[in-house]
Structure 1
Amino acid sequence: MLIHRGGLKVVAGLGISGVSVVNHFVEQGYQVAVTDSRITPPGHDKIPAHVHTSFGALDSNLLLQAEEIILSPGLAPQLPQIQEAISQGIPVISDIQVLRRTTHVPIVAITGSNAKSTVTTLLGEMAKHAGKKVAVGGNLGRPALDLLKDEPELIILELSSFQLETTTNLGADVAVVLNMSEDHLDRHGDMLGYHTAKHRIFQDVKKVVFNRDDSLTRPLVPDAIPMQSFGLNAPDLNQYGVLKDAQGALWLARGCEKLLNSTDMYMQGTHNIANALACLALGEAIGLPLPAMLEVLKTFKGLEHRCEYVTTLNDVRYYNDSKGTNIGATLAAVEGLGQAIAPQQGKLVLILGGQGKGQDFTLLQTAVQQYVREVVLIGVDAPKIADALQGYTHLTFASDLSRAVHHCYQTAQTHDVVLLSPACASLDMFKNYNERGQAFVACVQSLAHEK
């Protein structure tokens, strides 16, 4: 059977990124083995037949024979089998680390608690529109190593805290932490551990973009490294922000120069203005022409299940934010859309609920009181959310999503927005957040047909 220590690459955890790592090393002529705690892990049928596999439990003996271990982001480095290998001096790295040492192509690195998929995709569209041969992936869509097959001149990566905790000296041409709110504390221990993992994105960075509205996004880096900020206030010289005109319209701006009226963006809401500003700053850092970037902002529709506009019925707009699985994401959606419709006296009718993951829902109180006409509660943790929001708005319970949507239809008034942004995981009622979002869209579309 196996195996000699020298040169063996052991992939711990399969799935889409694990398959890409296996195939990358096989193509490079390395000896590769795979271990996974699952008996039939996803992707097991997509790796070469000669690759040694050990499924059903993480194989400590195999891990200890590795020259290095490439760890799936879904597996914590704190696992005993991984810690034993680390204690023996065996490097444990990510597929992102493998990518970094394989290519000198410039990398744009994007992370944050929320909005990273939107910003990554939008910046990719801007780069394409500007004529760049760009590859987009990482935590979003295609695995990082598969991007090399495109022979790109620019790589744009969405990175999770799980990927970053096993990535060292990424050396990105520009990097950003878009925002920071409580998430994955079961993995990282506390907010400091989460913050530390996220900020590994700035190791050896060439340029930095940070969010002026969130001090936790600004890194401690040498003064010589260029830094540019974005935020929802008036920007200083050469920074990105928002200016108001005499009519109260919000303009995306660089310093004192107005660039684009926010009403000309397809994506609406102040949170999406922030996303657009982040992209403009990142794009400037890599030399994208401003006119091309602004053109894309007029047509980019956003991502499915991420504050996705569905339709308008009776002068009420419906948005699917099923990807809002934590409080930070839902706050961004509520505040962003709430501020956008406030001048027309509009309010939100908000669908919340699902598996709450032990979050503190009192953090929603202020935004709900300010922007929400009514909260419709679904799912297993609906009573806990109701306890947290009692007295801050009108609350209604619905036994399922269909009844929730119908109630919203009856309650919403002219210029209101009906928003599904549950602040919860979906697994108590649906297979995943995609299925929940699709169900919401189907319910809304059925209302349109009933009219």
Structure 2
Amino acid sequence: MERRARSHLHGGHGIARARRGDGCAGAAHQHRSPDHRDRRPLRDRGQLGHPAGGVVPGVRQAGAAHGAAAPSLRAARLAGVHRHRALLDSRGAVRGLRAGPVLCRLHRPRGCGVNPLSRLPLPFGRAGVVGLGRSGAAAARLLAGAGIEVRVTEARDTPALAGVAAELATLGVVTELGGHGEGIAAWAEALVVSPGVPPANPLITAAVQRGIPVWSEIELAWRFASVPVLAVTGTNGKTTTTTLLASVLQAAGLDAVAAGNIGYPLVDAVEGSHDVIVCEVSSFQLAFSETFRPSIAIVLNVADDHYDWHAGYDDYLSAKARIGRVQTAEDLLIAGSADRGALSIAVGAPARPAAFGLGDLASVHAAARRLGRPLAAAAGVEGGRVVAEGSAGPASIVEVEKIRLVGPHNLENVLAASLAALEWGVEPEVIGAAVAAFSPLAHRSTLIGEIDGVRYIDDSKATNPHATLSALQGLERVVLIAGGRAKGLDLSPLAEHTHRLAGVVAMGEATAELESLFAGRVRIAAAAFVEEAVETAAAWAVPGDTVLLSPACSSLDQYTSYAERGERFAAAVGRLARAGVR
């Protein structure tokens, strides 16, 4: 083990600049030269290497040698710390010290240079923030800390929000609760909108008419990001893939964090001391992005969703496509090879294309032919193993049977995360061990328990038909609990799997639609709440069946979140188990 070359070690120092603290968080340089003219740009390397960094250190008087000259680190293939950036040019911010293993293969991912926008002042002095949720409050704090005059508007008015407003007031932020006043749109020079605030909101309409910037949290955060960002989007699987990729990078010795639409705002993450940020991004956030440029972008899939926000599929697809709109050939865009929407985004993106799929590598390449250019990397399944090929050659990563995540859709998540980690320079054996150790996240095809031979699975996170169809794959006889708020989506694709269904228990606003859809096809009943649905499903199920909560709808007609819905399902199953009744 040895320490990485960082601040206060091997002469590494960061340059202090506006919006940052001392030099420990700035761009990476050796001892600061009194004149910038002795740091000239380097040209890109040729076919055998990745692009060089942005500067070389200034010429300084060498100290007296204490022995024979040491061999070149690069000649000895020691030009990097295990699973980390090169010692001689980290191309990123200098952070704290941490130990790491030595002797990695000499590889550094492309497209991981310093974000030039992070060094520039924001192009406005007054900003309005629409929404005081977690990301809205974090955005207000970041803006206020950057010297921007901030006003926040929030439609709700609760004691909890009043407490957040009081905390922001100490930073000079003015907050309006209980309604969106029109004055903020006339006052602001830019709007930062929270996820879920649709384009039809009057404040956004007024801002667009005035021609002022309308940014999402990820666009604002990108203006402050001084470390690489890897981004994950898709209709389903985002959170699992984001969390898994961050876990793999952590296992490789990197200070990696999962952020964005996952609960930890990206505007908070960019202020932390991280080596790399893995960011889950939604269509809401991407719709209001302009310059957001991830080094690696992953598009898992694009299926019908959020039509209560978007005008339709084309509008939804267009928002998703913004994840790669300003990438360059130095970056990588990874798409699901079996998903037409994901591949269509890769077709129009300037980044190097990569793809993954449940077939072998040859089938992944064949499916991606519509891109009109060869894949830079690919991942698939061969001989019962996750395999990949890319900039470092072929790799065998992990046996499929060792993966704890259940279902073909989760295997696709594993393929996407593994390919991204491999292209980021992580060794295949490290990826495989991290994947095998990764446990399913709550409310995502999670086995709650088995009672009298019947399995009970919580897939409450399935808030659209595409997610429910994925959960049904691989299951035999299922009593499905579905329903809630359909968000303007067509639920009829669920009927494609009637051959798997022993019955359907419908609940929530979509009850009538589900009853009409399945009437005469399978046994169906209505339930007022999930607890009653569990009782009905348990009465119908026989040994070998699965009772699956996979609603295909939002929970917001009856519950505060999909998590509450899932927790109440699990509690109802627990009561059945304690009563000894199936």
- TM-score, normalised via structure 2 length: 0.70
C-alpha distance in structure 2 between counterparts of 1:68 and 1:430, whole Å: 34
Does 2:271 align with 1:165?
A: no
Which amino acid in structure 1 is aligned with residue 416 of structure 2? Answer: A
Gapped regions of structure 2 (runs ≥ 5): 1-122, 366-376
C-alpha distance in structure 1 between counterparts of 2:509 and 2:155, whole Å: 29
Q: Indicate the residue corresponding to 1:7 in structure 2.
A: 125
Does 2:342 align with 1:217?
A: yes
Does 2:168 align with 1:47?
A: yes
Q: Indicate the residue corresponding to 1:446 in structure 2.
A: 575
C-alpha distance in structure 2 between counterparts of 1:163 and 1:358, whole Å: 20
Q: Indicate the residue corresponding to 1:57 in structure 2.
A: 179
Q: Indicate the residue corresponding to 2:151 in structure 1.
A: 33
Residues 484 and 511 in structure 2, CA contact (< 8 A), matched pair in contact too: yes
Deviates more, 1:42-51 or 1:143-152: 42-51
Does 2:381 align with 1:242?
A: yes
Deviation of 1:145 (Å): 1.0
1:39-96 Cα shifts (integer Å, max 9, x gaps):
4583323313332233343333332232322122232233333222222221111221
Residues 320 and 419 in structure 1, CA contact (< 8 A), matched pair in contact too: yes
Residues 322 and 434 in structure 1, CA contact (< 8 A), matched pair in contact too: yes
Query: CA 1:296–1:313 in 2, change beyond 3 Å: closer, same or farther?
Result: farther
C-alpha distance in structure 2 between counterparts of 1:62 and 1:277, whole Å: 45
Pairing 1:118-197 to 2, within 5 Å after superposition:
118-197=240-319
**Structure with greater Cα Rg:** 2
RMSD of aligned Cα (Å):
2.4
1:247-304 Cα shifts (integer Å, max 9, x gaps):
xxx5433369764332211111111111111111221232222222211222222211
Which amino acid in structure 1 is aligned with residue 565 of structure 2? Answer: R
Query: CA 1:24–1:412 in 2, change beyond 3 Å: closer, same or farther?
Result: same
Deviates more, 1:154-163 or 1:324-333: 324-333
C-alpha distance in structure 2 between counterparts of 1:79 and 1:102, whole Å: 27
Identity of aligned residues (%): 32
Does 2:534 align with 1:405?
A: yes
Deviation of 1:21 (Å): 1.1
Q: Indicate the residue corresponding to 1:252 in structure 2.
A: 386
Residues 303 and 341 in structure 2, CA contact (< 8 A), matched pair in contact too: no
Does 2:429 align with 1:308?
A: no
C-alpha distance in structure 1 between counterparts of 2:360 and 2:443, whole Å: 30
C-alpha distance in structure 2 between counterparts of 1:433 and 1:212, whole Å: 29
C-alpha distance in structure 1 between counterparts of 2:198 and 2:348, whole Å: 30
Residues 262 and 268 in structure 1, CA contact (< 8 A), matched pair in contact too: no
Deviation of 1:212 (Å): 0.8
Local SS of the residue matching 1:423: coil
C-alpha distance in structure 2 between counterparts of 1:116 and 1:273, whole Å: 13
Residues 221 and 267 in structure 2, CA contact (< 8 A), matched pair in contact too: yes
Gapped regions of structure 1 (runs ≥ 5): 339-345
Does 2:350 align with 1:228?
A: no
Please point out which of 389, 392, 395 is paired with 2:518: 389
Deviation of 1:33 (Å): 1.9
Deviation of 1:399 (Å): 4.5
Query: CA 1:439–1:116 in 2, change beyond 3 Å: closer, same or farther?
Result: same
Aligned length: 433
Local SS of the residue matching 1:254: strand
Which amino acid in structure 1 is aligned with residue 380 of structure 2? Answer: G
C-alpha distance in structure 2 between counterparts of 1:32 and 1:330, whole Å: 42
Residues 124 and 189 in structure 2, CA contact (< 8 A), matched pair in contact too: yes
Deviates more, 1:171-180 or 1:51-60: 51-60
C-alpha distance in structure 2 between counterparts of 1:145 and 1:158, whole Å: 13
Residues 34 and 51 in structure 1, CA contact (< 8 A), matched pair in contact too: yes
Q: Indicate the residue corresponding to 2:495 in structure 1.
A: 365
Pairing 1:318-397 to 2, within 5 Å after superposition:
318-335=456-473, 337-338=474-475, 346-369=476-499, 371-397=500-526
Residues 175 and 201 in structure 1, CA contact (< 8 A), matched pair in contact too: yes
Please point out which of 205, 210, 229 is paired with 1:88: 210
Which amino acid in structure 2 is aligned with residue 157 of structure 1? Answer: C
Query: CA 1:133–1:404 in 2, change beyond 3 Å: closer, same or farther?
Result: same
Residues 64 and 90 in structure 1, CA contact (< 8 A), matched pair in contact too: no
Residues 176 and 210 in structure 1, CA contact (< 8 A), matched pair in contact too: yes
Local SS of the residue matching 2:386: strand
Deviates more, 1:310-319 or 1:105-114: 310-319
Deviates more, 1:144-153 or 1:377-386: 377-386
Tell me which of the two structures has the higher relative contact order, counting C-alpha pairs closer than 8 angstroms and 6 or more residues apart. Answer: 1
Q: Indicate the residue corresponding to 2:424 in structure 1.
A: 286
Local SS of the residue matching 1:430: coil
Residues 196 and 309 in structure 2, CA contact (< 8 A), matched pair in contact too: no
Deviates more, 1:68-77 or 1:151-160: 68-77
Q: Indicate the residue corresponding to 1:272 in structure 2.
A: 410
C-alpha distance in structure 2 between counterparts of 1:325 and 1:190, whole Å: 17
Residues 349 and 372 in structure 1, CA contact (< 8 A), matched pair in contact too: yes
1:104-146 Cα shifts (integer Å, max 9, x gaps):
3111111111111111111111111111101211111111111
C-alpha distance in structure 2 between counterparts of 1:268 and 1:70, whole Å: 38
Which amino acid in structure 2 is aligned with residue 31 of structure 1? Answer: E
Query: CA 1:257–1:407 in 2, change beyond 3 Å: closer, same or farther?
Result: farther
C-alpha distance in structure 1 between counterparts of 2:505 and 2:350, whole Å: 51
Deviation of 1:160 (Å): 0.9
Higher helix fraction (1 or 2): 1
- TM-score, normalised via structure 1 length: 0.89
Which amino acid in structure 2 is aligned with residue 173 of structure 1? Answer: S
Deviates more, 1:409-418 or 1:147-156: 409-418
C-alpha distance in structure 2 between counterparts of 1:22 and 1:223, whole Å: 32
